[in-house]
């Protein structure tokens, strides 16, 4: 099972998730979410596969989110507009995002990783 781990090295949550994956012997390919953000098509696919609301993919606590005033803009934006926005800047994406193409997790909760990636 090829797992892609989208992360930002300075993110504490990403570091915790990476430690968990390594400690549990999960083989993964790490992708720097800012230097190589997922494409529009990749985000759309992960969103559709995940079954999560699109807003779960937004890094709502991030500085960039606040700078751009996205809280109100997101409410009226179309799904395609939000996906396009997410694919334009990796700092807008909640992280880490972990996927094997069939399953997607956003953020890090140890219990969720136990159930999904062990």
* C-alpha separations of 95 from 33, 55, 76, 78 in Å: 8, 13, 24, 22
Domain count, the chain: 1
Domain that holds residue 12: 3-117
Q: What is the CATH number of the domain that holds 25?
A: 3.40.30.10
The confidence score (pLDDT) of residue 1 equals 60
The answer to whether the pTM exceeds 0.85 is yes
Spans of the chain below 50 pLDDT? none
Q: Go through the chain and tell me how many residues it has.
A: 118
pLDDT tens, 45-69? 999 999 999 999 999 999 999 999 9
CB under 8 Å to 63, separation ≥6 — which residues?
A: 91
The confidence score (pLDDT) of residue 48 equals 97
Q: Please give the Cα distance from 86 to 9 (Å, whole number).
A: 19
Q: Please give the Cα distance from 10 to 45 (Å, whole number).
A: 26
């Amino acid at each position: 099972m090829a797992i892609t781990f989208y992360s930002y090295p300075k993110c504490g949550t990403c570091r915790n998730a990476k430690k968990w994956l390594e400690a549990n012997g999960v083989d993964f390919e790490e992708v720097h979410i800012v230097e190589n953000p997922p494409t529009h098509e990749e985000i759309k696919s992960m969103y559709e596969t995940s079954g999560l609301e699109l807003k779960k993919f937004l890094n709502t606590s991030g500085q960039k989110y606040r700078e751009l005033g996205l809280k109100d803009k997101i409410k009226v934006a179309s799904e395609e507009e939000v996906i396009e926005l997410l694919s334009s800047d990796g700092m807008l994406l909640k992280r880490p995002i972990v996927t094997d193409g069939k399953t997607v997790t956003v953020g890090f909760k140890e219990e969720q990783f136990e159930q999904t990636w062990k």
